[in-house]
Structure 1
């Protein structure tokens, strides 16, 4: 059963400027036109299914036309289904009713805002450590940004201009209880007279890799022992085991 009748072929031909089309030509073209329409609609349905939609849109039909190397239709893009109307006396002809628009409403309607163009403005955040005074950069707080002068650099009237040495603050170092007990035990053994325990202690100091936090404490211990007894107190040097 054909859905495209010869009368529809004549109407389309007349709209294209082809008048007086013979009935045999229209009847012969109707099956081919229907086949092409079905082919384009099937291609549009594929795009609809791939888009996870249940409504066939004009964009799907245009995608099917592009797939078949046919120029797409223009002026029919709409997200909503189009409403077709049927003229009186022509049951096989359908058209889209155009909405009547008054010129006064169009002229008096407010203009839409122009879209803002996307642009990118680069600027220097700092040049050689100095922040440029431009609107894009934040304003620096003069109180916080003022450099702190050291006590040795403050000029005192009547005093000499010799700068005092800068004293580094003492950093508190927290040792675990295990390291504290280890340090006390090793120092007691080194101060004692048992050679076997001294050999074990020195071997532990030479091979244990987790004693880096005790290095300043052992350095101070050796320095104090050598300063207190420079002639009598001697710690024997042991060959590091391979």
Structure 2
């Protein structure tokens, strides 16, 4: 049997026309359903005259697009209506239409793109990330309010940065936040307020269902620490609040470490933490250092550079030319990282500064200066005690060098198993 090519083409054409007709008919029916449910029907007069009295409905391009979306097909970018024109005088010149209606570029499809949000903890300066100007404006806005605010800021590159929205929280969470912050602000001057404060901080440490409050609580801690740096007792309460957040097993603080860590570092190494003489800022530095090391231990496995960056900042604090309270805070924090950090960063500096501190202590009569020198010496001895109690191997040459530098001070901190301690008994 021989089939001619024209007959094949005619059969294919007939099949294709049938399929297209069925597809268009089905699409028009679905678009009509969309039009009916959306109540978007547009009426027009049918015939040669508008006075003919025949009124029909006309589909809109949005109806057809919705029908195509139901089918999973690509959208069309038509405008206006679809229907048969009654007169040839209504013909549209495509060039004129493009000049008048298409001045603006059509909107792009909504989608997702990938870009670097941070590299080694530093945000790269690319159009997708908020610019430095927007970050400065954001910091100024955050410092101007003690409680979470609602502001929308236009960033560079058309990116809008939206701050926290307290109105999205439930009434119970807003009340919880108000009760906790009120208890912290009142302080613990009386037994009743102290009990309320302890109960609020204990609730933060154990209550589930507080994840939505984490951004607000962390922001409150960081802003309040910056605001009340001259009040050590209030800052100690805020440090307890930060420690309670870390102790809660139901909370995830990974996305908020960039706000918490700088505030803790400030309380550790700031030159001045008390606005009056005799303020107990030494205890504040120790508690802030303990909390900072707790953060590094909790999230060090997830962020490999976290501990290294914190140690780098602490090493700058104990460098030459720094104030004695800053050096004390750096020594205290690095000591809590363990014997390896002490042996690498503190031991050479302690041996180099010990005699200088002793000489200054003999010459000065200023009580404040003497206290600062004594606290720095105590921090150096505490770091040595960690080396001796942690079974850290010290060579004979190192021991002789330590003995020449610290002298009889080693008797109180050295282990009983060392030769020096045995001879001094």
TM over 0.5: no
- Which structure's residues are more often helix, by fraction? 2
Taking structure 1 as the reference length, what is the TM-score of the superposition? 0.32
Normalising by structure 2, report the TM-score: 0.19
Rg: which structure is higher? 1
